[in-house]
Structure 1
Amino acid sequence: MDNRQRLQFKGSRIDNTHNQAQLRVLGLPAQQGRWLLIPLGMTILLCLGTVYSWSVFRTPLEVALQVGATESLLPYTFALVFYALLMPIAGYFIPRLGTRLMKVIGGIIVGLGYILSSFASNIVVMILTYGVIAGTGVGIAYGVPMAVIARWFPDRKGLAVGLTIIGFGLSPLITAPLANFLIETYTVRPTLRILGIILTVVIVIVAIPMKFPPNHWQPLTTTTSTDKATNQAYPSHLWKSQSFYGLWICYAIGTLIGLSAIGISSPVGEEMIQIKPSVAASSVSLFALFNGISRPLFGWLSDRFKPHHVAIGAYTLALIGCILMINAQVGQVATYLIAFCLFWFCLGGWLAIAPTTTLRFFNPDQYAQNYGIVFTAYGVGGLVGTLFTGQIRDSFGSYNIVFYFMAFLAIMGIIVASLLFKRKGYPLSK
């Protein structure tokens, strides 16, 4: 570095220090105020995660709409599909329309979906209102807090994003009891309207301070290290990078295993272990807790270790869960609880590994659209996992075979992670 470069670097640090002193977040200097954005992001994702509380609505809606258990699952399935489909589209528009506007649009559409669902007279209308409209709103709004937090924490990407997405994972612990209380008090249709109004108001209000920092903003303590990071060679586009395909396949396998397990958590407990339905249902709260805890933990690990090592660790835990369930016997409640805690733990882990790795492998300035594309793996994993577990149960008459399938996927995931899930700064053609 010659004298001119040293002077330029020194000047940039002085300018950054001056800008840091001037910039404030929620009334505090940016260095401290940025931490307040994490609970705000958690709150938004907690509201969006209400979609995971669909099981609370299923039984009363089956009575109100006169449908069976299979049909009552369709609105939730469509919500997950549209949630995943809208992520890459929303990611493209976030830097163009702004974080606040995208969050407000998403929040209003989510609330509208719930409100319109309260007037649904048949399952087709419910699929359109809850599945398509509310799912679309979740897809539009989901990526905004993650993109904002990632920009504000270039020094602690994994930890910050992991803490933020706790809100989505733990949402059923809060929103499911709330929805259940409202249903018992007002019945199901008024509950959908009340939740629609609450979700819209909260998301719109919390969205106000959620905005990107100035371009090239860096925390004072990491100016030197991040200056080096900005000089990394990133692939010109996801499609030209081997790393993208490794990440996408690993994410799809991880979510396929996790979402398959989530979908059968209670039925497996009742059928294979023969525990009471009430115990199986209450166990889901324990599983959700592990799902939430794993997100900041795996985010922290992804900041400090190579992503493929973290991925292999997650797959190994899932494989242990599969082995436990393959050998599980009637009455072995502890085996069931440990195995499904591991499954839910690993799914939460992947929801931190994938966004953190996207930030590490690809240009952070294009994070919103990049992660939107990567997130399609979640949609594929969820859809395939739901279909396969149902088909396997119907074909073999038992859920036991499902765990052989999941174990095979975990082994395949370890192989793919070892070969492809590594940072490649150059296009495939080179």
Structure 2
Amino acid sequence: MNLTRKRWRTLIACCFINLCLGSIYVWSVFAASMAEFLSTRNGVALTTADLAIVYTIANSVGPITMITGGSFNDKFGPKKVILTGGLMVGIGMIASGFATSVGALIVTYGLIFGLGLGMTYGTAVSTCMKFFPDKRGLIGGITTAIYGLGSVILPPIVTEIVAVTDAAAAFKIVGVAFLIIICGCSFFMEQCPADFVPDGWTPPAVAAGNKAENKNWKEMLKTPVFYVMLLLFTCGAFSGMMVISQASAVAANMVGMTAIMASTAVSVLAVFNAAGRILAGLLSDRIGRINTLSVASVLGIIGLLLLYMTGQGGYATFYIGIAGIGLSFGSFMGVYPGFTADQFGAKNNSVNYGIMFIGLAGAGYFGPSAMRKIYMAEETYHGAFLVACAFAAAGLALTFVYRFFAKKKA
């Protein structure tokens, strides 16, 4: 089969893989039931807050295997790497169904599942990036959007399984399903040739008479623009990671929504998050990555200011605010795989993007932590929105710093 056609099969396999990996966003569904299960079993009262460390670790360890998995991907190809990562994801979830303590969950879900997720996600996205040099923004948007859509599609399914059985059984059932799907899809992942050019497309750099420069991770770390991009990723993703972590609580405590309305708000945030990934990816192919990220930063600032102005009963400002934050966060997630490949070359993007992903991990740690600490100190979320607004404004400023370095390089 022609590689230009075969790449679409690779993209479809990647989408199924990323849909399974998006299950990390379903943690809150597992956590509530698992806290009750462990409390009953061990005779010690536990809440979802006591299990939050499990989710934090699962989110934080991903860059480790994104980097190592990227290196293995370059050496052994995506089939073997995704097969290994899929086994870790499935086994981690299945083992979580046998966990009898928070410590055990940290090992099974936080470490095994989290490391497997990072390895699989990074390899799948980077492989698609290499196959679609003509549509990097759009493909980055699609692959990351499917990952984000896991937070919309999977919660009702997992909720039903938990209701019929319990959290422990749900972990086992979902783990088996994901193991089969991810490992099965791994056999449809192809290694992209280094010199691959889709039929009918001429690389812009080649057309201009310049050879595109591929930097390895060591060379990338020596460039000032890498650190600008890393900080921009952290600042741009800060508000999204912060709000996603407490969206339901914000809707209930700050706006006065019922549990059902709060869950709807979470879905709205997830939909705009996914939409932002695709729309921004497509837009970035037309107006450029950094211009798209500038727009995303402005959307984030507007969304955060609207949330800051929201009070009890302020449904309209709340929904518009979380929509803006969802679009902003989704834009950064959708644009950055292609942005990294554009800047440092597609050849080593598996490793390079894994390192760049540390910026997101930083936002994933500091964003939710800041929100939690501010709420504990002030008993309101409003101060957290101002802090996030400052980060978004810093991100906007960094887009101009990036332009300075890009112009200097040119």
* 1:108 Cα offset (Å): 0.2
Distance in 2, Cα, partners of 1:141 & 1:422: 35
Query: Which residue among 267, 292, 308 is the counterpart of 2:274?
Result: 292
Q: Secondary structure at the match of 2:347?
A: helix
Tell me the amino acid that sits aligned with residue 103 of structure 1. I
Which has the higher Rg, Structure 1 or Structure 2?
1
Q: Deviations over 1:41-100 (max 9, x none)?
A: 111000111111001111111111121232121211110011233212211221112110
Tell me the amino acid that sits aligned with residue 119 of structure 2. I
Tell me the amino acid that sits aligned with residue 133 of structure 1. I
Query: Which residue among 387, 412, 428 is the counterpart of 2:394?
Result: 412
Q: Deviations over 1:349-378 (max 9, x none)?
A: 111121111011012101100100000111
Distance in 1, Cα, partners of 2:117 & 2:48: 24
Tell me the amino acid that sits aligned with residue 94 of structure 2. I
Q: So what's the TM-score if we normalise by structure 2?
A: 0.93
Query: Which residue among 25, 32, 36 is the counterpart of 1:59?
Result: 32
Tell me the amino acid that sits aligned with residue 44 of structure 1. I
Distance in 2, Cα, partners of 1:371 & 1:74: 25
Say if 2:100 is the partner of 1:121. yes
| More divergent stretch after superposition (31-40 vs 418-427) | 418-427
Q: Deviations over 1:180-207 (max 9, x none)?
A: 1111112221111111111011001111
Q: Which structure 2 residues correspond to residues 254-265 of structure 1 after superposition, within 5 A?
A: 254-265=236-247
Q: Which residue of 2 aligns with 1:178?
A: 157
Identify if the C-alpha distance between structure 1 residues 103 and 76 changes in structure 2 by more than 3 Å, giving closer, same or farther.
same
* 1:249 Cα offset (Å): 0.5
Identify if the C-alpha distance between structure 1 residues 415 and 215 changes in structure 2 by more than 3 Å, giving closer, same or farther.
closer
Say if 2:126 is the partner of 1:147. yes
Distance in 1, Cα, partners of 2:21 & 2:380: 33
Q: Which residue of 2 aligns with 1:87?
A: 66
* 1:31 Cα offset (Å): 2.6
Q: Secondary structure at the match of 2:193?
A: coil
Tell me the amino acid that sits aligned with residue 50 of structure 1. S
8 Å contact 1:155–1:226 — kept in the other structure? no
Q: Secondary structure at the match of 1:370?
A: helix
Distance in 2, Cα, partners of 1:401 & 1:251: 22
Tell me the amino acid that sits aligned with residue 400 of structure 2. S
Identify if the C-alpha distance between structure 1 residues 389 and 199 changes in structure 2 by more than 3 Å, giving closer, same or farther.
same
Q: Deviations over 1:140-198 (max 9, x none)?
A: 10112212211111111111121122211001222211111111112221111111111
Query: Which residue among 174, 190, 212 is the counterpart of 1:195?
Result: 174
Q: Which residue of 1 aligns with 2:348?
A: 366
Distance in 2, Cα, partners of 1:330 & 1:186: 37
- State the percentage of identical aligned residues: 26
Q: Which residue of 1 aligns with 2:12?
A: 39
* 1:221 Cα offset (Å): 0.9
Q: So what's the TM-score if we normalise by structure 1?
A: 0.89
8 Å contact 1:158–1:299 — kept in the other structure? yes
Distance in 2, Cα, partners of 1:320 & 1:393: 21
Q: Which residue of 2 aligns with 1:162?
A: 141
Q: Secondary structure at the match of 1:220?
A: coil
* 1:40 Cα offset (Å): 1.7
**Ranges of 4+ aligned residues in structure 1 off by more than 6 Å:** none
Say if 2:228 is the partner of 1:246. yes
8 Å contact 1:321–1:342 — kept in the other structure? yes
Task: Name structure 2 gaps, 5 residues minimum.
Answer: 40-45
Q: Which residue of 2 aligns with 1:111?
A: 90
Distance in 2, Cα, partners of 1:389 & 1:31: 46
Q: Which residue of 1 aligns with 2:43?
A: none
Tell me the amino acid that sits aligned with residue 391 of structure 1. K
Q: Which residue of 2 aligns with 1:305?
A: 287
8 Å contact 2:63–2:355 — kept in the other structure? no
* 1:212 Cα offset (Å): 2.0
* 1:241 Cα offset (Å): 1.3
| More divergent stretch after superposition (167-176 vs 230-239) | 230-239
Number of paired residues?
Answer: 401
Distance in 1, Cα, partners of 2:73 & 2:408: 27
Q: Secondary structure at the match of 1:214?
A: coil
Distance in 2, Cα, partners of 1:340 & 1:329: 14
